[in-house]
Structure 1
Amino acid sequence: MAKFRYAYEKIVGLKASEKRQAEWMLSDAIGKLQTEQMSLDQLRSERKQWEERLLELSTSAVSLSELTTIQHYLDHLDSCIMNKIAEVHQAKGVVEQSRSHLGMKMKDEKVWLQAKERELFRFQQATLLQEQNELDEMATVRFMIAAP
């Protein structure tokens, strides 16, 4: 009995490899997005703490220079937060690009796997037909031998 060999097996393997690579890229992009979001959350938390401190100090006797220093630091944190928001937005774009790329690779792999499955089905049908023909021939030969 013949063994099934798909002529384009290396292409199927390549497509599977490309899909795995796209999955890794998406995973990496999601990791970077999460890191950026955590960093943004930390900046916002720090800003909130300094803002609360500024409010506490504004009700007590504190020098104007200390209040302006804290206000300048809050302004700096605002700038950092705006930059981080832009970085988060950019990271989200990379994630979406990676998702799209992965989707294309998954479709590409699926097309090649379906082609392989169709070829396997044809091979199995041809093998079954060949076996049936051989069985029919054996039955015919036996009938001819048994008939005087």
Structure 2
Amino acid sequence: MLKFNYSFQKVVDLKTSEKNHAEMHLSSAIGQLNAEEQTLGRLFSDKSSLVDSIQEQTVGAVSALQLQQMQDYVNYIDQCILQKRQDIQTAQVKVEEKKEKLTTKMLDEKVWLQARGKALESFEKEEMLREQNELDEMATVRFASRAR
């Protein structure tokens, strides 16, 4: 039996490789998004702790300068939170872009794999037909040699 040799196998391999790269890029983008979200969570936690600290210190004797410095730091954290929200939004857009790219690459790969599958099926049919013709030829030769 002959071995199946698909003439476009390198294209199939390329499409599979492109899909794998797209999966890695998506995974990386999701990791970046998760990191941004964790940083935002830490910023909220820091702000909450600082606000609690300010409230505790206002009960006791604390200078106006210290309160002002703490409030300035709260304002700084608020700015960081706003920036981090923008970073998260950017990361979400990037994740969506990577998902779309992966979907496209998966479809490309699927088309080529289906074409390869059809070519393999056609090859197998031709191979079976060739083998059947050989068997028929052998049977005809045997029949002809017995008839003599």
Same-fold call, TM cutoff 0.5: yes
Which residue is equivalent to 2:30?
A: 30
Letter in 1 for 2:63: S
Aligned-residue offset at 1:15: 0.4
SS at match of 2:60: coil
Aligned-residue offset at 1:72: 1.0
SS at match of 1:45: helix
Which residue is equivalent to 1:62?
A: 62
Aligned-residue offset at 1:61: 1.8
Aligned-residue offset at 1:147: 2.0
Which residue is equivalent to 1:15?
A: 15
CA distance in structure 2 between the aligned counterparts of 1:25 and 1:3, rounded to whole angstroms = 36
CA distance in structure 2 between the aligned counterparts of 1:47 and 1:86, rounded to whole angstroms = 18
* Deviation digits for residues 80-137 of structure 1 (CA, Å, limit 9, x no counterpart): 0010011011111111111111111011001101100100000000000010011011
Letter in 1 for 2:65: S
Letter in 2 for 1:129: L
CA distance in structure 2 between the aligned counterparts of 1:106 and 1:59, rounded to whole angstroms = 62
Which residue is equivalent to 2:145?
A: 145
Which residue is equivalent to 2:52?
A: 52
Listed as ranges, the gaps of 5+ residues in structure 1 are: none
Which residue is equivalent to 2:71?
A: 71
Aligned-residue offset at 1:27: 1.2
Runs of 4+ in structure 1 deviating by more than 2 angstroms, as ranges, are: none
Count of aligned pairs between the two proteins = 148
Letter in 1 for 2:4: F
> What TM-score comes out, normalization by structure 2 length?
0.96
Aligned-residue offset at 1:2: 2.3
Aligned-residue offset at 1:24: 1.0
SS at match of 1:83: helix
Listed as ranges, the gaps of 5+ residues in structure 2 are: none
